Structure 1
């Protein structure tokens, strides 16, 4: 085939897929990129009077993720509705163990941010409207067949199915899609035996831009600061780990009783819980794919891994992986190689593997260690938290993991405040 329909097909136009499309347009503008998205595109992209809903869902962005969005020219807009995390307080309910992280100690204005998902999506769409990225929406990728020139991808639009030729297919349609399995990838699922309950809550005391990681005998919970980015508010985003029985019991309660139940589990560090918004929940699993690449196709984002949300690492890991893939594509073009070549995609997997492995282990170990109640283990983890608070080297390591800081260099010359490897203060 002499001429391809496009160079890269991205299956999924959510946060991961849209970010990859924007990154490719910024770093490799000569590439033809097509995004296939199951839902229609929003027609109200960035209304000037946009205001977040109280029940809007949000994502924790590490400091390293801010640097990536700066590099892509998106951060100025995202920051309009991104609440800074200036302090992180990690504690073990009913025990003495605790550690505290402060952005000031690391010479940064924030350790991370909490951003409204819808605002992130609209901001990405506004930027993508000014690029050559093509969208097929609503549409669906049904399958892919390797070809000598790259891949032939079956795309369903309405009642019609057409074949599109491309160098590479990138699957970014989330962990619940059947496309990953239909393409033959084997995902490993480890059930935590619990559920994540997500809701926004209000408290009588201001959060003062502090995120709380609270480990209890019934499971971990997190409260992330929300509201205006320029003044401390009283709204936080809650991630609460609950068993099936506890979840069903909570759902049946009225709002006041739910707040009281949360008060009993979290404590009074934010004063009284005065409101709990709309609830959403889902079962918790650690999902990983050991081999996320094959000739002509790569998995990214939740299609490649789904982590426990309390540690706040999932999207940040995905974002770093997207930039690693873009870097690998750039090297392939410089070498005159096809983007779907297994050597190219294998290079992406190898380059991203250490970050992937360390982040998965870091996130999973927090949940498993702090989810255990036996007294000897509880005493040991409390001592570990105290030691983490007292030992500068260990605390810097923990802070760097939380901030998503590694050694990646900017792909776009002159973009971003500094490279990630230079952003952690004294090392």
Structure 2
């Protein structure tokens, strides 16, 4: 290679402090959590996303009848307040003021209320599209927005450790670009090809179930109640959503055995509604309309490594769990803010952002929360899927005991709301 071509190749290499792979809800949340401190800490951040950025005008947003939604715990609200995006999220978020848990065919039931727990809501339900739009709008309009370089639409083909840090090869409109950084954060989802490319194994438990997700309309107001109904074939969750064109809306998450998935998705709307009604009952009213259906396989997945020198893995690329308690995204966001806080502290102390000891400290601090949340989800699914009469009696007695014991109810509610985790600072002193 000639001296001229060497210079051209060198000039083509962009350098950042942090490269975030994935601009979805997890990756965008990390960028948002870092942005306020980026100016004072002299951070340059890149975010690589396969989709183009949407228009940053939130005023033209219209809720969709067929949108997928996510349940955010009250603790997640607090985290987004620290990041500075909650007021915008709240514009399209539906509060959960009551939670009703029941066991089909058995007497066990438990009820939680925001009023009893002295919080404005136990959680919130928000359409994924709105949450993503708010986060990306925040990144594009923030005072420090010049500290973030969005690289999209683009595809990451290779990630490698090099002498100077980390090297990322990106395909941008058919042209390869090399990017270097002290730290690469992979937030590219549960089907992470890069995780496998890097030789990072994972432990996986198949539940032989699929979640069927849809928006369904009852004939009356949901009254801000979220339901979790356990059945022998798996749980049925119903989450309150904002009305759309005068239709009452709830987010349905229906767990079906994998061998029934094809038949379930092929049902007519009337047959689908009738089947849901039979499984769920009439406590939320009579279902009268259903939207587009989506499905995904249910499994527990935990990556064998979540940090390496110059590398951190977040979200579903690090861990995926059964949606039985709606804690997957809330767990992921707690990891996001914990990593952001660790990086801010490291930068202030003059520690390299890719330093392995620092990243391992972040991971050790996250282990207990991960194991507790993932383990609770797994054990709850197995307990309520078991038809053993003695186990059924025990779980129903447990539900009833919690329902009548205020202390037990509060302990459970605080854990579910994520209020047993300290809030981050996310500011540079």
Same fold? TM cut 0.5: yes
Q: 1: distance between equivalents of 2:278 and 2:57?
A: 40
In the alignment, structure 1 residue 137 sits paired with structure 2 residue 147: no
Aligned equivalent of 1:161, options 158, 171, 176 = 176
Q: CA deviation at 1:363?
A: 1.3
CA RMSD of the aligned region, Å? 1.9
What secondary structure, in the 3-state scheme, does the structure 1 residue paired with 2:253 have? strand
Q: 2: distance between equivalents of 1:375 and 1:101?
A: 26
Q: 2: distance between equivalents of 1:46 and 1:275?
A: 31
Q: 1: distance between equivalents of 2:251 and 2:319?
A: 23
- 1:353-387 deviations in whole A, cap 9, x for unaligned? 11111111111111111111111111111111111
For structure 1, list consecutive stretches of 5 or more residues without a partner in the other structure.
Answer: 415-427
> 2:219, 2:287 within 8 Å by CA — same for their partners in 1?
yes
Q: 1: distance between equivalents of 2:106 and 2:386?
A: 13
Aligned equivalent of 1:381, options 370, 383, 395 = 395
What secondary structure, in the 3-state scheme, does the structure 2 residue paired with 1:332 have? helix
Q: CA deviation at 1:179?
A: 0.8
Structure 2 residue aligned with 1:38 = 50
Q: From the superposition, tell whether residues 51 and 92 of structure 1 become closer, same or farther in structure 2 (CA, over 3 Å).
A: same
Structure 2 residue aligned with 1:292 = 306
- 1:290-315 deviations in whole A, cap 9, x for unaligned? 32111110100111011112311011
**How many aligned residue pairs are there?**
410
Structure 2 residue aligned with 1:270 = 284
Structure 2 residue aligned with 1:60 = 71
Q: 2: distance between equivalents of 1:180 and 1:363?
A: 24
- 1:167-210 deviations in whole A, cap 9, x for unaligned? 10000010012111111211111100010000000001221100
In the alignment, structure 1 residue 186 sits paired with structure 2 residue 186: no
Structure 2 residue aligned with 1:418 = none
Aligned equivalent of 1:73, options 56, 68, 84 = 84
Q: CA deviation at 1:149?
A: 3.3
Matches within 5 A, 1:164-243: 164-227=179-242, 234-243=248-257
Q: 2: distance between equivalents of 1:308 and 1:93?
A: 19
Aligned equivalent of 2:118, options 107, 116, 119 = 107
- 1:380-426 deviations in whole A, cap 9, x for unaligned? 11111111112223212211121112232331469xxxxxxxxxxxx
Structure 2 residue aligned with 1:402 = 416
Structure 2 residue aligned with 1:325 = 339
User: Normalising to structure 1: TM-score of the pair?
Assistant: 0.92
For structure 2, list consecutive stretches of 5 or more residues without a partner in the other structure.
Answer: 1-9
Q: 1: distance between equivalents of 2:228 and 2:172?
A: 44
In the alignment, structure 1 residue 123 sits paired with structure 2 residue 134: yes
Q: From the superposition, tell whether residues 403 and 228 of structure 1 become closer, same or farther in structure 2 (CA, over 3 Å).
A: farther
